[in-house]
Structure 1
Amino acid sequence: MITGSQCRAGRALVEITRAKLASRSAVDEAVIEQFERKLEEPAPETISALKAALEDLGAVFIEENGGGIGVRLKFTESEARRIARLEGEGGLVASDRVP
């Protein structure tokens, strides 16, 4: 499950309004606002619908991992290819320690 803060942050990252998220998730806009403002906790299936809609738009939700919860954007396919190319360049393995 996600929190209201994660929902609001995810919406900001994927640049979607509450109205558009309401349309995509079939959740009433007022329910989304109440959730994001921490005024009401919707049913778990409602939160799942919001999460799924935001994930379809490119948000990735980060569970509690000792460093806190969060949200980020997925890498695009071209970004993933560039990262894979950089990781596969090879070269000499050396110590990272600076004298």
Structure 2
Amino acid sequence: MARAALGWTVRDLAEATGLHRNTITNIEVGRYAGEPETLNLIRRVLSREGVVFIEENGGGAGVRLRRPTAQR
């Protein structure tokens, strides 16, 4: 969901993280759970780009984009 919110392809995320496209695809489709370091890297990159991760609160975990800050 986070990658889609940014309008990124798997290739975009792979380039931003330095991971292989297949690694990202395998994590996304559930074939591979991912190492904690890999998941943290992906989360850091997506967060840097404006994704806010919402913890599960009874309605399921999710993501949203941070509001742009006002330009001065």
TM-score w.r.t. the length of structure 2 is 0.89
**Identity over the aligned pairs, expressed in percent?**
36
Query: How many residues align structurally?
Result: 70
Q: Distance in 2 between matches of 1:66 and 1:37?
A: 23
Q: Does 1:45 align with 2:33?
A: no
Measure how far apart 1:14 and its partner are: 0.6
- What is the CA distance between 1:66 and its match in structure 2? 2.1
Which position in structure 2 is the counterpart of 1:86? none
1:23 equivalenced with 2:10 (yes/no): no
User: What TM-score, normalized by structure 1, do the two folds share?
Assistant: 0.67
Query: For residue 76 of structure 1, what is the aligned residue in structure 2?
Result: 68
Counterpart position of 1:62:
54
Q: Identify unmatched segments of 5+ residues in structure 1.
A: 1-8, 79-99
Could you tell me how far apart the structure 1 residues matched to 2:21 and 2:41 are?
13
Paired AA for residue 40 in structure 2: S
What root-mean-square deviation, in Å, do the aligned CA atoms of Structure 1 and Structure 2 show?
1.0
Q: Deviation string for 1:33-92 (max 9, x for gaps)?
A: 0000111111000001111111111111111122210000101113xxxxxxxxxxxxxx
